[in-house]
């Protein structure tokens, strides 16, 4: 896997709890366009246009990750909880701040989230509705390297199928 381990953005201020953008995000122009397209129907306070916040998990899966993957030329996904927890041991800056991050789907209606420091660092997991576009919740990217077919003999997961 290749995973982002840079510091997680904090919220803009303690009154609005809007997640700040990542500094120097390579997907800034795509995020601006995605917010322009997807935010019109959302009530509430706007987020900075280059922030990764305020996308629901469904929007991430259907619109955001495909667009960012297209730019990157690789399939990107939200960093799974197990990888975030392990990496945070060596990179505690991943946990700092009051914003949260989407992790992975756990049911048709819910996904795992983590990261808000007043509820616990990145390893403190909880879940929420996949349709809620919280202004303090973003996402961290990763990609899995190797064959796309998990049954391939050269796949690192091939042993699971034998």
pLDDT of residue 46: 77
Instruction: Dump pLDDT digits (tens) for 118-159.
Output: 555 566 788 999 998 888 899 999 998 877 555 544 434 333
Average pLDDT estimate for 43-48: 74
Q: Is the CB of residue 20 less than 8 Å from the CB of residue 48? A: yes
123 vs 34: CA distance, rounded Å: 29
pLDDT of residue 118: 58
Q: Which of 5-14, 22-31, 57-66, 146-155 has the lowest mean pLDDT?
A: 146-155
Partners of 110 in beta bridges: 129
pLDDT of residue 75: 95
In this predicted structure, the answer to whether residue 31 has a pLDDT above a threshold of 80 is yes
Q: CB-based contacts of 145: which residues, under 8 Å, 6+ apart?
A: 1, 2
71 vs 30: CA distance, rounded Å: 9
pLDDT of residue 64: 97
**Domain ranges, ordered by start, for the chain:** 2-9+25-147
Partners of 2 in beta bridges: 143
Q: Which of 135, 133, 119 is nearest to 19 (CA)?
A: 135
In this predicted structure, the answer to whether residue 161 has a pLDDT above a threshold of 80 is no
In this predicted structure, the answer to whether residue 21 has a pLDDT above a threshold of 70 is yes
Q: Is the CB of residue 31 less than 8 Å from the CB of residue 60? A: no
Q: CB-based contacts of 70: which residues, under 8 Å, 6+ apart?
A: none
Residue of higher predicted confidence among 82 and 63: 63
Residue 38: count other Cβ atoms within 10 Å of its Cβ.
Answer: 17
pLDDT of residue 84: 87
Strand ranges inside 4-161, DSSP E:
77-78, 100-105, 110-114, 125-129, 137-139, 141-143
**What does the buried/exposed string (b/e) look like for 118-151 if buried means 16 or more CB atoms within 10 Å of the residue's CB?**
eeebbbebebbebeebbbbbbbbbbebeeeeeee
pLDDT of residue 60: 96
Q: Which of 56-70, 81-95, 103-117, 138-152 has the lowest mean pLDDT?
A: 138-152
């Amino acid at each position: 896997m290749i995973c982002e381990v840079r510091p997680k953005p904090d919220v803009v201020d303690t009154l609005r709890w809007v997640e700040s953008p990542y500094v120097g995000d390579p997907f800034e122009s795509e995020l601006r366009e995605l917010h322009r397209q997807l935010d019109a129907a959302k009530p509430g306070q706007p987020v900075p246009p280059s922030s990764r916040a305020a996308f629901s998990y469904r929007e991430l899966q259907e619109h955001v990750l495909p667009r960012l993957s297209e730019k990157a030329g690789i399939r990107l996904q939200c960093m799974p909880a197990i990888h975030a927890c392990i990496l945070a041991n060596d990179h505690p800056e991943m946990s700092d701040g009051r914003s949260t991050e989407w992790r992975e789907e756990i049911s048709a209606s819910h996904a795992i989230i983590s990261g808000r420091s007043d509820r616990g660092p990145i390893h403190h997991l909880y879940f929420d509705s996949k349709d809620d576009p919280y202004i303090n919740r973003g996402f961290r990217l990763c990609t899995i390297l190797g064959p796309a077919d998990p049954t391939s003999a050269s796949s690192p997961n091939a042993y699971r199928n034998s």
